[in-house]
Amino acid sequence: MSADIIVPAVISFIAGYALIKKTDIFTAFTEGAKEGLRSAAAILPALCFLMTAIGMIRQSGALDMLTEFIAPFAEKLGFPPEVIPLAVMRPFSGSGALGYYEELCQSLEPGSFAERVASVLMGGSETTFYTVAVYYGAIGIKNGRNTVPAALAADFAAAILSVFAVNLFMGRG
């Protein structure tokens, strides 16, 4: 099936199905759009805060100071020091982490151990705070109790296990 006809085919299928079920497509669409706007309005303050905080952390040099503090411990675990900022940023921002990942890949030798660890880390971890802000904001949960600590523990495990996975499946590079 050609990629040019996929979208029109899906739209035609939805319209045909709605006709068969005798559903008012326009009303269903506008109700869905209203609900989407309500959800966006509910999560917007949390996202604004998150993006502002990320920008401040990067621009203030706090990320560099945190990296220098963590580096000796990370090296003992076999974690490449140049990947620490990515591991720190990933729970906060997917786009910020992706930007740093791209910079990292350009500065490292292709196929190097650090680049492989960064790649596995990007695929094996989550943007914890963004996800919590979006989902909890959308459904109105104010207190996440144990969600954030558990998710951060999973992010930490993803960082450590990315080194293990690269060593196990790809070697040191």
Residue pair 104/115 in contact (Cβ under 8 Å)? The answer is yes
Q: How far is it, in rounded angstroms, from Cα 141 to Cα 148?
A: 13
**Structure-block tokens of residue 6:** 């996929």
Q: Give the N- to C-terminal CA distance of the chain in Å, as an integer.
A: 40
Q: How far is it, in rounded angstroms, from Cα 111 to Cα 54?
A: 29
Residue spans per domain, the chain? 40-169
What is the per-residue burial (b if ≥16 Cβ within 10 Å, else e) of 70-86?
beeebeeeebbebbbbb
Residue pair 87/159 in contact (Cβ under 8 Å)? The answer is yes
Percentage of residues in the chain with pLDDT exceeding 70? 98
Q: What pLDDT does 148 receive?
A: 84
Average pLDDT, the chain: 85
Mean pLDDT is highest, among 55-64, 114-123, 128-137, 140-149, for 114-123
Q: What pLDDT does 66 receive?
A: 87
Could you tell me where the beta strands, DSSP code E, fall in the chain?
none
Does the pLDDT of residue 136 top 70, yes or no? yes
